[in-house]
Amino acid sequence: MFKAIKLTAAVALIGISATSVQAADWIDSVKLSQGIIKPAPVEVTASSNGYTAIKTQQTSINFSLHATAKKGKRIAAMRLGSYKGVYYFEYAGDLWHQDYEGRDTGSGSKATVNLDKTINVPTTKINWYVNPVQLCQKNLENQMKKGLHKSEVLAKSWSMDAAAYFELDAVAARKKDAESGKITLKNTTSQRSGAPFTIPVKCNSTLKKAP
């Protein structure tokens, strides 16, 4: 049995909105948004005491990436990341990110680059506004406040929506530098845009499925 739960209250509470966090002279616009392909639910396991862990190791997320350079300039590279402060020229360590350059961005020949990418992202690397385990646990508490026993709540499967943050950094350069691929911090400028993504969550039941 599935129960659909909307996370509008939590979204309002944390003030989720798309944001541009850096402006630059050579960039006209940068936009990151969630694509039309909906991710499969991230599953959370349960025990008799409550929800315990994220079962799903990775989830497929559809990203829509857009960047436009100003007249005479070209989009040379992009970096997509699951953290705040994504910057193409900075070492990201073990933070989740994907870089796009060369043929991905038109080999420096395009002033406007639009990419549609579906990527498997490890759930441990996702920047959750509210962790799915905590989200399921909060729903458990809310249902108990409404009069249900803990065992009744945990005997059911619940469908919810979690929010996760992703950010895009776009790099613009002069046409000759972009086409040569020889871009550096000194001969480029960049601009970032971040956005919340909706990822379905399934709070699993404690009941075992019949064989």
Structure pTM? Answer: 0.85
**CA pair distance 27, 53, nearest whole angstrom:** 42
Beta bridge partners of 73: 174
**CA pair distance 157, 3, nearest whole angstrom:** 7
**CA pair distance 77, 127, nearest whole angstrom:** 23
Q: What is the pLDDT along the chain (211 residues), one digit of tens a residue?
A: 433 344 443 443 344 444 433 445 899 999 999 999 999 999 999 999 999 999 999 999 999 999 999 999 999 999 999 999 999 999 999 999 999 999 999 999 999 999 999 999 999 999 999 999 999 999 999 999 999 999 999 999 999 999 999 999 999 999 999 999 899 999 999 999 999 999 999 999 997 664 4
Q: Please enumerate in sequence order all residues whose Cβ is within 8 A of that of 26, keeping only pairs 6 or more positions apart, or say none.
A: 69, 70, 73, 172, 173, 188, 189
